[in-house]
Amino acid sequence: MRLDIRDLRVSYGGIKALKGISLSVDEGKIVTLIGANGAGKSTTLRAISGLQKVESGAIVYNDENITGMPAKEIVRRGIVMVPEGRRVFPDMSVRENLLIGAFLRTNKAQIEEDLVYVYTLFPRLKERTWQMAGTLSGGEQQMLAVGRALMSRPKLLIMDEPSLGLAPLVVRDIFSIIRRVNEDGITVLLIEQNANAALRVAHYGYVLETGSIALEGPGRDLLVNPSVQEAYLGKQRKKDKKPQEAK
């Protein structure tokens, strides 16, 4: 499995949201795309998922050009997105929300197996299986959004700002789950404003600035890159300095 984005351009009216970006996601890896608000991160994800019209360039998945393909067909190929803001169905139960993730599947036995898998990853969801999704906490709703995506058996899981608006302890849990699903064989493309957490978990990263790729490299390398530290890790950088000065 491999995803290649080649010279991708997207415009909204006269505004150029993506100015010819190119990036790759290799099978079995966690790849992150970091950047400030308005850099074009979510636009990239929406284009991959078939939710955003592409001006030019190509999105190639497993040697197939999927540019402009309907979102349903992209899901059929194993590319599934966890949207920003969770987007759960508030008046449906946890179980019903999860089953919606399996809407393209027909093997009931496998669907039940995957429900067990999701409940193993998120024990709190199992405890609340018949609870209405709208009554869950923000962290629980994020878990539900991830679980719903996993119910489609994705090959490539795309996550749009999974830590947004969550408490630090919940963020830590979410990133632990990202590692876990990756270890279970699912490739992950992660879009995050929390650059510190994203680069720590990612095998490879790209820095997006105003619609262009400014930097790329292994996640750990970008974590210590002075330009990235100054732009995205300012607070963390100060914290890191204190122990060194104490020595």
Placement of tokens 């996640």 in the chain: 219
Give the per-residue pLDDT at 234.
Answer: 67
> Would you list the domain boundaries of the chain?
1-78+155-162+182-247, 87-153
What CATH number belongs to 1-78+155-162+182-247?
Answer: 3.40.50.300
Q: Which of 100, 101, 103, 21 shows the shortest CA–CA distance to 56?
A: 21
| The model's pTM | 0.89
d(CA 38, CA 218): 23
- Residue 182 and residue 188 in contact, taking contact as beta carbons nearer than 8 Å: yes
Give the per-residue pLDDT at 240.
Answer: 47
Tokens of 142: 């994020």
Give the per-residue pLDDT at 239.
Answer: 46
Give the per-residue pLDDT at 83.
Answer: 84
Burial 176-206 (b: 16+ CB within 10 A, else e): ebbeebbeeebbbbbbbbbbbbbbebbbbbb
Give the per-residue pLDDT at 170.
Answer: 87
State the 10-residue block means of pLDDT for the chain, 247 residues long.
Answer: 95 90 97 91 93 94 94 94 84 94 88 94 93 91 93 95 86 92 96 90 95 95 92 58 44
